[in-house]
Amino acid sequence: VLLEMEFKGMYVDEQLLNEMSSDFGKKIDSLTKGIYNESGFEFNVNSTQQLAKILFDVKGLPEIKKRSTAEDVLEQLKGKHILPEMVLEFRKLNKLKNTYIDALPELINQSSGRIHSTFNQAMTATGRLSSSNPNFQNIPIKTQEGREIRKAFRSSDPNWLIFSADYSQIELRIMAHLSQDEALVDAFNKGVDIHATTAASVFNVSIDEVEPSMRRTAKIVNFGLLYGAGPFRMSQELGIPQKEAKSLIEAYFATYAGIKNYVDSMMDFAKENRFVTTLLGRKRPVWDIDSSNHLHREAAKRMAINMPIQGTSAEMIKLAMTSIYESIIEKKMESNMLLQIHDELVFESPKDELNELKDIVLDKMINAMSLSVPIEVDSGHGQSWYEAH
C-alpha cells in the first residue's frame, strides 16, 4: 500500500507556489531591511548567535532561557522592544518559504509531474509511519499564511477531487480503551463533547456553565496527559502558576481515576519486563525505566506512557489503510490513496466516485479495530487539501 502511495505521488501546483514565493520574498526582504535598521547592524538574521548578540548585548534585553532566541522567548520580549516581533514575523515567513514553498517544486518528478515522498514503515519507536523527501506529514496548517500552501496540494484533473478523512480524538479514545476508565469510557459512549465534559468535572461546574476558556484548559490538559506532562510543562502551556497546574492535574486524576491507574500499572509492567506493548503486541524496550539517573528514568516513564497509545493508534490506521486499498481494487475503482498523516488519510477521486469512496473509507476507518468506545471520523472534500481538511 505504501509503495502504491509513493509510486502514484501527489500533484502539487507549481505555479501557485511560485506566485507565493515572490510574494513571500518581497515581505521577507522588507522585514530584513527593517531589522537591520532597528538593530543598527547588518547581520545574518538566521544566525541565532548573531541575533543573541543584538538582542541581549546591544539592546540589553533580558536573557530568559540562557541566550536562546526561540519563539517562546521572543514572545515574552515582545513588549520591551520592536525587534523580537519583527524577527518572529521574519522567521515565520522564512520557514514557510524555505521549507515548503521553494523546496516542493524542486522535488517534482520530470516523468510523472508529481512529488513522490517516501513513507518509512520501519523507522519509529512507536510503530507510526514517517515520511521523508519531502516530509508530507508536516505540511503547515496552524497559521493562515502556512495553510495557503495546502491549496497547492490539489487534483491535476478538474474532474477529480481531493478527499480527506481523519480520526476524531483517536489517542484519547485509545487511552479510554486501554485504561478502561469508567468516566472517560462513559463520556465517549454518550457522545458528549469530551473537553467540555472534562472541564465541567475538573472545575466542578455543570456542563452549561463551562466557559470557552475552561474548555480550552481541559483540552490542553487532556492532551498533556497523553504524554505524561507534569506541572512545569502544563503551567507553561496554560500560562498559569505551577501550583495551579499541579492542582489541575490532581483534579484531572480525581475525575479520571482509571487513567492514574493505567499509568501506574504501565509503570509496573515496564519495570518488570523492561518493555511496553501496544494493543496488537508491538513492543518498545524501555531500558531506562530503572536508570539511576532521575532525568533518564522520568523520560523513560513518559515514553512508556505514550507508546502504547500512539502505537495502537498507528496500528488502527494501518489496518484501515490495507482494508481500504483492497476494497478499492476489488470494486475496480480509480481513486488513489495519496497521503497518511498519522490520523488522517488523503485521497484523490473522480467526482462521480466520491460518494462510494467516502462510504468505504469511513466504514473501514471506523471499524478497523473494535474498542470499548465508539470511533468517529470526520471527512471533507474539495479542489485541494485546503478545502478538504
Partner DNA sequence: ACCACATGCAA
Partner DNA sequence: TATTGCATGTGGT
CB of 187 to DNA, least distance (A): 20
Euclidean distance between CA atoms 231 and 375, whole angstroms: 30
Q: Say whether residue 138 binds DNA (CB under 7 A).
A: yes
Residue for cell digits 500560562? 239
Which amino acid would we find at residue 199? A
Taking residues 63 to 82 in sequence order and writing x for each that binds DNA by CB under 7 A, - otherwise, the string is -----xxxx--x--------
Cα distances (Å, whole numbers) of residue 159 to 162, 235, 246, 349: 10, 50, 54, 9
Nearer to DNA, 236 or 247 (CB): 236
Q: Say whether residue 239 binds DNA (CB under 7 A).
A: no
Euclidean distance between CA atoms 182 and 91, whole angstroms: 45
Nearer to DNA, 196 or 249 (CB): 249
Q: At what angle do helices 170-179 and 182-190 cross, to 10 degrees?
A: 130
Taking residues 314 to 343 in sequence order and writing x for each that binds Mg ion by CB under 5 A, - otherwise, the string is -----------------------------x
Hey, what's the cell of 175?
Answer: 487511552
Which of 6, 23, 148, 237 is close enough to bind DNA by CB under 7 A? 237
Q: Say whether residue 166 binds Mg ion (CB under 5 A).
A: yes
Nearest C-alpha neighbor of 198 from the set 226, 233, 166, 235: 226
Cα distances (Å, whole numbers) of residue 307 to 124, 258, 317, 338: 11, 18, 15, 26
Q: Say whether residue 267 binds DNA (CB under 7 A).
A: no
- Binding to DNA in span 37-66, by CB under 7 A: 44, 46-50
Hey, what's the cell of 170?
Answer: 483517536
Which of 271-279, 301-309, 327-335, 376-384 is the region at the interface with DNA (rule: CB under 7 A)?
301-309
Which of 6, 27, 193, 228 is close enough to bind DNA by CB under 7 A? 228
Task: Please state the separation of Cα 40 from the chain's center in Å.
Answer: 39
Nearest C-alpha neighbor of 145 from the set 59, 20, 236: 20
CB of 311 to Mg ion, least distance (A): 17
Q: Say whether residue 171 binds Mg ion (CB under 5 A).
A: no
Q: With contact defined as beta carbons under 8 Å apart, do 52 and 74 qualify?
A: no
Q: With contact defined as beta carbons under 8 Å apart, do 115 and 107 qualify?
A: yes
Which of 30, 98, 180, 189 is close enough to bind DNA by CB under 7 A? 98
Residues interacting with Mg ion, by CB under 5 A? 166, 343
Binding site for DNA (CB under 7 A): 44, 46-50, 68-71, 74, 88, 91-92, 95-96, 98-99, 103, 120, 123-126, 128, 130-135, 137-143, 146, 220, 223-224, 226-234, 236-237, 295, 298-299, 302-303, 306-307, 310, 341-344
